[in-house]
């Protein structure tokens, strides 16, 4: 189990506080001036991912102290506990084993049961369906080839598959994916315009199979579909479900052979590697999906075995701790300079904020230090023409993660050269600033960032990148002494929405008045 250590009570935390006081008045530029070897010291590479963290308020000594903090907080033991299938998601009594989904080991046990045969069986099912759909062997009820898929899910059952499909657009073959998530029917109306029921497969993706948005959308789509094709039998050729709640899926009327399972030891936001990845495998083909799993596994092996000071996820997490808890930065910008990675900020919002946006520590005491920063972002260069003003001259300092591929996923070299130039120019401008006599044109600089350069946005490298951020979440949670794998904070709103929708009177006069106003506007 994870230990319950308040990080602020450790000697390493105190050392870091003292160290902060020593270096806080030095600018990042000063650090560069004082050390010609700074970039080599403060950059690391694993496979095709290079991390430059030299443009931060830190030195080699800072890294050493942060690594000491991780050790004092038993990070290694925590990693082993996760790997060993201990129920480290204690508040839900569950293990956390998304890494088993991409493992090549023959045996990963939980409660004495080997999980690997279960994983392989479900992934084999994904493979068969993906191959059948891609090759045209799977044909629709009226004999037509499947050309579209609609993934009906939300949160972890939507964001990961959607982000990956869009990131790997150059690999799309024969199938166009659509992602239906919002309970606002405009979303469905929009998708409906671009598909035809005879050529479309609907994948209902829901870990619990009780999520209101997904169930409401699934019912609406089913009714529409039956109205169009008129036969219950047609569902067999067009509806697939993925869930841990097999009973509910059968109640919905999905035939057994079209049901894919996964397990409660896979968190929704960590589930794209499971059968939840079906929409990815159908869109880019099984071998490319497998390459994503391979890349993630390589990052897992690196995370599990590499020394902390060379370990990319550990370093990324420790740098964020340094920024949040010592420098007091409460936001973070995620800036992929890659149109295909445009959904990465949204995906990471759920991954990080739903995991680590917590106020209770592992003993149930209210935390007195900050935890997860607010994440936001946009792909470059679009963000430059929207919120970068604030990054450069706003009153708050917001650390950024710049992410860019060295090799473009298209052949327009001139565009890519400009994209790369903009990416590197921005991190340099944020750090270096520019002195001007005109105060309005002055750039203070000294604004921190990481830059991740990926050789090329191949499926394998994307898998590694996602796993990198997944493990960052885990390390942050260990340090902050919180439970990262539950999400109780989303429950209250769901309950109230149900009550309001059932017309139960609210005790809140503002809510009641809003409902009255809606009624009067609608009458």
The number of angstroms, rounded, from the C-alpha of 481 to the middle of its chain's C-alpha atoms is 21
Helix (H, G, I), strand (E, B) or coil at 138: coil
Residues 145-174 that bind ligand F6P (CB under 6 A): 153-157
Of positions 62, 103, 206, 484, contacts ligand F6P by CB under 6 A: 206
What whole-number distance in Å separates Cα of residue 22 and Cα of residue 62? Answer: 11
Residue 318 near residue 66, CB atoms below 8 Å: yes
Say whether the peptide bond before residue 381 is cis (omega within 30 degrees of 0): yes
Closest to ligand F6P by CB, 156 vs 336, is 156
Of positions 17, 43, 74, 208, contacts ligand F6P by CB under 6 A: 208
94 binds ligand F6P (CB under 6 A): no
Q: How far is the CB of 30 from ligand F6P (least distance, A)?
A: 43
Of positions 207, 238, 297, 362, contacts ligand F6P by CB under 6 A: 207
Closest to ligand F6P by CB, 243 vs 381, is 243
Site string for ligand F6P, 219-258 (x = CB under 6 A): ----------------------------------------
Phi, psi of 451 (to 5 degrees): -125, 130
Known catalytic membership, residue 141: no
Q: How far is the CB of 50 from ligand F6P (least distance, A)?
A: 31
Number of residues that bind ligand F6P (CB under 6 A): 15
Q: How far is the CB of 276 from ligand F6P (least distance, A)?
A: 8
Of positions 55, 94, 125, 269, contacts ligand F6P by CB under 6 A: 269
The maximal CA–CA distance of the chain, rounded, in angstroms, is: 75
Q: How far is the CB of 208 from ligand F6P (least distance, A)?
A: 3
| Catalytic choice (121, 196, 365, 494) | 494
211 binds ligand F6P (CB under 6 A): yes
Name residue, tokens 């991954």. Answer: 351
Site string for ligand F6P, 483-512 (x = CB under 6 A): ----x--x----------------------
Residue 261 near residue 247, CB atoms below 8 Å: no
Q: How far is the CB of 490 from ligand F6P (least distance, A)?
A: 4
Closest to ligand F6P by CB, 208 vs 393, is 208
Phi, psi of 489 (to 5 degrees): -65, -10
Tell me the window of 185-193, 205-213, 231-239, 282-290 that interacts with ligand F6P (CB under 6 A). Answer: 205-213
Radius of gyration, alpha carbons of the chain:
24
Residue 448 near residue 32, CB atoms below 8 Å: no
Closest to ligand F6P by CB, 31 vs 269, is 269
Tell me the window of 40-48, 123-131, 207-215, 513-521 that interacts with ligand F6P (CB under 6 A). Answer: 207-215
Site string for ligand F6P, 319-358 (x = CB under 6 A): -----------------------------------x----
Closest to ligand F6P by CB, 59 vs 271, is 271
449 binds ligand F6P (CB under 6 A): no
Residue 200 near residue 238, CB atoms below 8 Å: yes
Q: How far is the CB of 321 from ligand F6P (least distance, A)?
A: 24
Measured CA to CA in angstroms, residue 222 lies from 143, 158, 252 at distances of 19, 19, 10
Known catalytic membership, residue 55: no
Closest to ligand F6P by CB, 181 vs 427, is 181
Q: How far is the CB of 267 from ligand F6P (least distance, A)?
A: 7
| Catalytic choice (198, 199, 354, 378) | 354
Known catalytic membership, residue 192: no
Residue 315 near residue 53, CB atoms below 8 Å: yes
Q: How far is the CB of 100 from ligand F6P (least distance, A)?
A: 19
Q: How far is the CB of 487 from ligand F6P (least distance, A)?
A: 5
DSSP string, 448-517: -EEEEEEEE--HHHHHHHHHHHHHHHHHHHHHHT---S--GGGHHHHHHHHHHHTTPPPS-HHHHHHHHH
Measured CA to CA in angstroms, residue 104 lies from 40, 241, 297, 362 at distances of 33, 26, 8, 32
Closest to ligand F6P by CB, 155 vs 477, is 155
**How would you write 388-443 as a 3-class SS string?**
HHHHHHCCCCCCEEEEEEEECCCCCHHHHHHHHHHHHHHHHHHHHCECCCCHHHCE
268 binds ligand F6P (CB under 6 A): yes
Q: How far is the CB of 422 from ligand F6P (least distance, A)?
A: 33
DSSP string, 240-308: EEEES-HHHHHHHT--GGGEEE--TTS-GGG-TTTGGGHHHHHHH-HHHHHHHHHHHHHHHHHHHHS-G
Which H or E run includes 98?
none
Tell me the window of 95-103, 200-208, 433-441, 475-483 that interacts with ligand F6P (CB under 6 A). Answer: 200-208
Of positions 54, 134, 151, 214, contacts ligand F6P by CB under 6 A: 214
| Catalytic choice (24, 196, 385, 517) | 385
3-state helix, strand, coil in the chain (%, to 5): 55, 15, 30
Residue 220 near residue 230, CB atoms below 8 Å: no
Measured CA to CA in angstroms, residue 269 lies from 87, 116, 360, 425 at distances of 17, 21, 21, 33
Instruction: Give the pair of three-digit tokens for residue 125.
Output: 């099912």
Closest to ligand F6P by CB, 54 vs 274, is 274
Q: Catalog residues that contact ligand F6P under the rule CB under 6 A.
A: 153-157, 206-208, 211, 214, 268-269, 354, 487, 490
> Residues with catalytic annotation?
354, 385, 494
């Amino acid at each position: 189990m994870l230990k319950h250590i308040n990080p602020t009570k450790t000697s390493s935390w105190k050392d870091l506080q003292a160290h902060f006081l020593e270096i806080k008045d030095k600018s990042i530029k000063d650090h560069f001036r004082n050390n010609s070897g700074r970039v080599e010291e403060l950059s690391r590479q694993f496979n095709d991912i290079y991390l430059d963290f030299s443009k931060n308020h830190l030195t080699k000594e800072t890294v050493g102290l942060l690594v000491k903090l991780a050790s004092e907080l038993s990070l290694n033991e925590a990693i082993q506990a996760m790997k060993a299938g201990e129920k480290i998601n204690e508040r839900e009594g569950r293990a956390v084993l998304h890494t088993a989904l991409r493992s090549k080991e023959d045996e990963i046990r939980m409660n004495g049961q080997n999980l690997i045969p279960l994983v392989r069986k479900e992934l084999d099912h994904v493979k068969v369906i993906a191959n059948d759909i891609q090759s045209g062997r799977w044909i629709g009820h009226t004999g037509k080839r499947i050309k579209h898929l609609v993934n009906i899910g939300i949160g972890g059952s939507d964001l990961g598959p959607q982000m990956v499909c869009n990131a790997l657009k150059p690999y799309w073959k024969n199938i166009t994916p659509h992602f239906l998530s919002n309970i606002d029917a405009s979303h469905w109306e929009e998708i409906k315009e671009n598909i035809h029921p005879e050529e479309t497969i609907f994948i209902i993706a829901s870990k619990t199979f009780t999520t209101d948005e997904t169930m409401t959308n699934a019912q609406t789509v089913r009714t529409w579909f039956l109205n169009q094709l008129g036969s219950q039998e047609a569902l067999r050729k067009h509806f697939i479900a993925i869930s841990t709640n097999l009973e509910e899926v059968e109640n919905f009327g999905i035939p057994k052979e079209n049901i894919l399972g996964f397990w409660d030891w896979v968190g929704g936001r960590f589930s794209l590697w499971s059968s939840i990845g079906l929409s990815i495998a159908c869109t880019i083909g099984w071998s490319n999906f497998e390459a994503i799993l391979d890349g993630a596994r390589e990052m897992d092996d690196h995370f599990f075995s590499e020394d902390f000071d060379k370990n990319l996820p550990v370093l990324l997490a420790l740098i964020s701790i340094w920024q949040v808890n010592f420098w007091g930065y409460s936001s973070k910008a995620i800036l992929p300079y890659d149109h295909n990675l445009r959904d990465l900020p949204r995906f990471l919002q759920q991954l990080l904020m739903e995991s680590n946006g917590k106020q209770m520590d592992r003993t149930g005491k209210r935390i007195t230090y900050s935890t997860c920063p607010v994440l936001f972002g946009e792909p470059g260069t679009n963000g430059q023409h929207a919120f970068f003003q604030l990054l450069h001259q706003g009153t708050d300092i917001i650390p950024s993660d710049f992410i860019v591929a060295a090799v473009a996923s298209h052949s327009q070299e001139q565009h890519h050269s400009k994209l790369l130039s903009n990416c590197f120019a921005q991190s340099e401008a944020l750090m270096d600033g520019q002195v001007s006599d005109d105060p309005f044109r002055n750039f203070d600089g000294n604004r921190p960032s990481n830059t991740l350069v990926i050789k090329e946005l191949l499926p394998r490298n994307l898998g590694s990148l996602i796993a990198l951020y997944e493990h960052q979440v885990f390390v942050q949670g260990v340090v902050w002494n919180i439970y990262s794998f539950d999400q109780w904070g989303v429950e209250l709103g769901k309950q109230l929405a149900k009550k309001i929708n059932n017309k139960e009177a609210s005790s809140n006069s503002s809510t009641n008045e809003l409902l009255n106003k809606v009624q009067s506007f609608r009458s």
